[in-house]
Amino acid sequence: MTTSVENPVVQSSGNTIARIHKPTLSEFKQATQSYSKPVIITGKIEEWKAFDSWSIDYLNQALENKEVKISVSKNKTFTFTEENDYILPSIQMKFNDFTDWILNGDRTETFYYLYQTPIETSFPELLPDIATPEYIKKNVFVLANLWMGTGGNTSPLHWDSVQNLLCQVRGRKKLLLFEPKQTSCLYSFPVNSKIPHMSQVKINNPDFNKFPKFKNARYTECTLEPGEMLFIPPFWWHQVHSLDQLNIAINFWWGMNFKDYFAPQARRIFASSPQQIGLLIKSLFSKASKKN
Ligand SMILES: O=C(O)CCC(=O)C(=O)O
What is the per-residue DSSP string for 152-202?
T-EEEEE--SSEEEEEEEEEEEEEEEE-GGGGGGT-BPPTTSS-TTBBSS-
Identify the CA nearest to 48 among candidates 226, 246, 272.
Answer: 226
Identify the CA nearest to 238 among candidates 222, 258, 214, 226.
Answer: 222
Q: ∠ CA(65), CA(172), CA(175), 5° rounding? A: 120
d(CA 279, CA 282): 5
Pocket of ligand 1 contains residue 150 by CB under 6 Å: no
Helix (H, G, I), strand (E, B) or coil at 150: coil
d(CA 264, CA 272): 12
d(CA 130, CA 46): 10
Strands of the chain, DSSP E = 11-12, 19-21, 39-42, 67-73, 90-94, 111-118, 142-149, 154-158, 163-178, 218-224, 229-232, 237-254
CA of 247 to the centre of ligand 1 (A): 12
Helices within 178-275 (DSSP H only): 264-272
Pocket of ligand 1 contains residue 56 by CB under 6 Å: no
Helix (H, G, I), strand (E, B) or coil at 30: helix
C-beta of residue 8 within 8 angstroms of C-beta of residue 176: yes
Tens-binned pLDDT, residue by residue, of the chain (292 aa)? 444 455 556 788 889 999 999 999 999 999 999 999 999 999 999 999 999 999 999 999 999 889 999 999 999 999 887 777 788 899 999 999 999 999 987 677 899 999 999 999 999 999 999 999 999 987 888 999 999 999 999 999 999 999 999 999 999 999 999 999 999 999 999 988 889 899 999 998 999 999 999 999 999 999 999 999 999 999 999 999 999 999 999 999 998 888 888 888 888 887 777 666 666 666 556 544 444 3
Nearest CA to ligand 1 atom 3: 155
- Give the per-residue pLDDT at 7: 56
As a CATH number, domain 11-290 is: 2.60.120.650
d(CA 233, CA 180): 10
Helix (H, G, I), strand (E, B) or coil at 253: strand
> Ligand 1: which of 116, 178, 199 to mutate, most ligand atoms within 8 Å of CB?
116
Task: Decide the pairing of beta strands 19-21 and 39-42.
Answer: parallel
C-beta of residue 67 within 8 angstroms of C-beta of residue 251: no
Break the chain into its structural domains and give their ranges.
Answer: 11-290
Pocket of ligand 1 contains residue 237 by CB under 6 Å: no
CA of 128 to the centre of ligand 1 (A): 22
CB atoms within 10 A of CB 31: 18
